[in-house]
Amino acid sequence: MHFHTQNVHFPNKEKAQEVSKTKPIYQTSAFTFQDFEEMEQYFSGDKSYLYTRMGNPNSDDLAKGTADLEGAEMGASAASGLAAILAGVLAVAKTGDHIVATQDLYGGTYSLFANDLQDFGIDVSFVDMESREEIESAVQENTVLLYSESITNPLLRVEDIEGLSQIAAGRGLRLMIDNTFATPYLIRPHESGADIVAHSATKYIGGHSDVTAGVVTGNKELMQKARGKIAMLGSNIGPFDAWLGVRGLKTLAVRMEKQCRNAASLAEALQSEKAVKKVYYPTAASPEGNGAIVSIELADGVDATAFSKELDWVKVVPTLAGLETSITYPIATSHRPLPDELREKLGVTAQTIRISVGIEDERDIIDIFQKALQQSAARVNS
């Protein structure tokens, strides 16, 4: 070969002899075949991969790893949590269908349901999922799906998944649960009857604040549909992001164990702070713990922005999870899309702060929040 050809074609076609301890990153847009006959084997099901938008070993690893932990038959990975949620919804719902969803949703999901799904001709009713009567009243002839979160964002209500699954089964509906806050370490919704489970893998599955990813899990029939939606909508995850997600998934248990323990200690410590009007933290989410999020309502007169400035090494971010403790301001970030009247009804106010507790020493976490709150209270009293 001449130089220009040789420069492009290395190495030559050959099967790799080395076996890596970890899955290599298949950073490729497409896969090669010996000839047209071998390429045709992809369409007959005898070859796994053709084009990365349709599937890739790394994205499959993330999907399968999450599905295994959730106790599901199959999973599908996507470029973000919202992409995964949309794929799960579209695996069940089509134009002319109706969904009943909890009203205390993550703001991005609320916006997707209240606005974008309407463009697909899918209608959504938002209800108080703690009221069986309200749920039953909202179900219509064309309802196909109930949707909620295992631990709600940001006020941390633990959903009665088994109760919802009974309603869904009685009315011939599917049940979909966003399990991002709990992760399968704490709650496995499929075991309580959920048909589809969604994750923003950007959060605890990735775990290191360095990847944007999503996963849905369920039975083979639903997940094949979800995977097809991801491929056709072009919302597939890239190989490197999927590889990072798998790397994070392998340390989920040890991270969640530490973060849940730290969060429980912080929630207890904040109960006695004068600058805190109310502490939101579950008490019986799971035998393994109650999650790594603590939300608080600051006392009247305590300025949220001033409080945030007192936190030194605690990061102010628009999201959650990761190894480091951080805070966010739901009315300005996660729950900005909600109408004012709904936020007020739910109790998400200008005094609501959501704390994502990290893996630092719990004494340092408690100390920095106590000092910031005491400084904030002192300013009010002065």
Query: pLDDT, tens digit, for every residue of 78-104?
Result: 999 999 999 999 999 999 999 999 999
pLDDT (tens digit, 9 = 90+) per residue, 124-164? 999 999 999 999 999 999 999 999 999 999 999 999 999 99
Amino acid at 156: L
Residue that finishes a domain, picked among 220, 249, 278: 249
Question: Catalytic residue among 64, 157, 174, 203, which?
Answer: 203
pLDDT (tens digit, 9 = 90+) per residue, 271-296? 999 999 999 999 999 999 999 999 99
pLDDT (tens digit, 9 = 90+) per residue, 193-235? 999 999 999 999 999 999 999 999 999 999 999 999 999 999 9
Establish whether 379 is a catalytic residue. no
d(CA 151, CA 157): 5
Averaged pLDDT, 44-51: 95
Asked whether residue 376 is domain-assigned, the answer is yes
Query: pLDDT tier at 171 (50, 70, 90 boundaries)?
Result: very high
Query: pLDDT tier at 378 (50, 70, 90 boundaries)?
Result: confident
For residue 234, the model assigns a pLDDT of 97
294 and 192 in a single domain? The answer is no
Asked whether residue 28 is domain-assigned, the answer is no
**In percent, how much of the chain has pLDDT > 70?**
96
> Are the CB atoms for 137 and 165 separated by under 8 Å?
no
Query: pLDDT tier at 239 (50, 70, 90 boundaries)?
Result: very high
In the chain, which ranges are continuous DSSP H helix?
A: 3-8, 36-43, 57-70, 81-90, 107-111, 117-119, 132-138, 161-171, 183-186, 220-233, 239-249, 252-270, 304-308, 340-346, 362-381
280 and 311 in a single domain? The answer is yes
Domain with residue 85: its CATH number is 3.40.640.10
Residue that finishes a domain, picked among 219, 249, 279: 249
For residue 333, the model assigns a pLDDT of 92
Asked whether residue 18 is domain-assigned, the answer is no
170 and 268 in a single domain? The answer is no
Q: CA angle, corner 27, sides to 24 and 29, nearest 5?
A: 140
233 and 265 in a single domain? The answer is no
Asked whether residue 14 is domain-assigned, the answer is no
Averaged pLDDT, 165-181: 98
Averaged pLDDT, 111-133: 97
Count of structural domains within the chain: 2
187 and 314 in a single domain? The answer is no
241 and 356 in a single domain? The answer is no
Domain with residue 257: its CATH number is 3.90.1150.10
DSSP 201: T
Q: Is the pLDDT score of 14 beyond 60?
A: no
Comparison of pLDDT for 371 and 2, the residue scoring more:
371
d(CA 97, CA 88): 14
271 and 324 in a single domain? The answer is yes
d(CA 200, CA 181): 9
DSSP 46: S
pLDDT (tens digit, 9 = 90+) per residue, 248-273? 999 999 999 999 999 999 999 999 99
Q: Is the pLDDT score of 11 beyond 80?
A: no
For residue 165, the model assigns a pLDDT of 98
* Phi/psi of residue 182, nearest 5 degrees: -85, -40
Establish whether 278 is a catalytic residue. no
**In percent, how much of the chain has pLDDT > 90?**
92
> Are the CB atoms for 278 and 297 separated by under 8 Å?
yes
DSSP string of 258-321, one letter each residue: HHHHHHHHHHHHHTT-TTEEEEE--SSS-TT-S-SEEEEEEPTT--HHHHHTT-TTSEE-SS--
* Phi/psi of residue 315, nearest 5 degrees: -80, 140
Would you tell me how many other CB atoms lie within 10 Å of the CB of residue 110?
Answer: 22
Asked whether residue 7 is domain-assigned, the answer is no
225 and 324 in a single domain? The answer is no
pLDDT (tens digit, 9 = 90+) per residue, 299-342? 999 999 999 999 999 999 999 999 999 999 999 999 999 999 99
Question: Catalytic residue among 104, 178, 195, 241, which?
Answer: 178
199 and 58 in a single domain? The answer is yes
Query: pLDDT tier at 382 (50, 70, 90 boundaries)?
Result: low
Query: pLDDT tier at 358 (50, 70, 90 boundaries)?
Result: very high
For residue 330, the model assigns a pLDDT of 95
Q: Is the pLDDT score of 18 beyond 80?
A: no
Establish whether 42 is a catalytic residue. no
User: Strand pairing of 326-328 and 315-316?
Assistant: parallel
Q: Which domain holds residue 68?
A: 36-249
In 91-171, which ranges are continuous DSSP H helix?
A: 107-111, 117-119, 132-138, 161-171
For residue 130, the model assigns a pLDDT of 96
For residue 380, the model assigns a pLDDT of 79
245 and 98 in a single domain? The answer is yes
Asked whether residue 13 is domain-assigned, the answer is no
113 and 214 in a single domain? The answer is yes
Asked whether residue 64 is domain-assigned, the answer is yes
Q: Could you tell me the pTM of the whole model?
A: 0.94
Cα 364 to the center of its chain, rounded Å: 28
Residue that finishes a domain, picked among 193, 227, 249: 249
Question: Catalytic residue among 60, 64, 97, 106, which?
Answer: 106
Establish whether 106 is a catalytic residue. yes
Nearest to 106 by CA among 58, 65, 147: 147
Comparison of pLDDT for 151 and 21, the residue scoring more:
151
Question: Catalytic residue among 53, 247, 261, 278, which?
Answer: 53
Q: Mean pLDDT in the chain?
A: 95
80 and 165 in a single domain? The answer is yes
Asked whether residue 24 is domain-assigned, the answer is no
Q: Is the pLDDT score of 15 beyond 80?
A: no
Averaged pLDDT, 373-379: 89
Query: pLDDT tier at 21 (50, 70, 90 boundaries)?
Result: confident
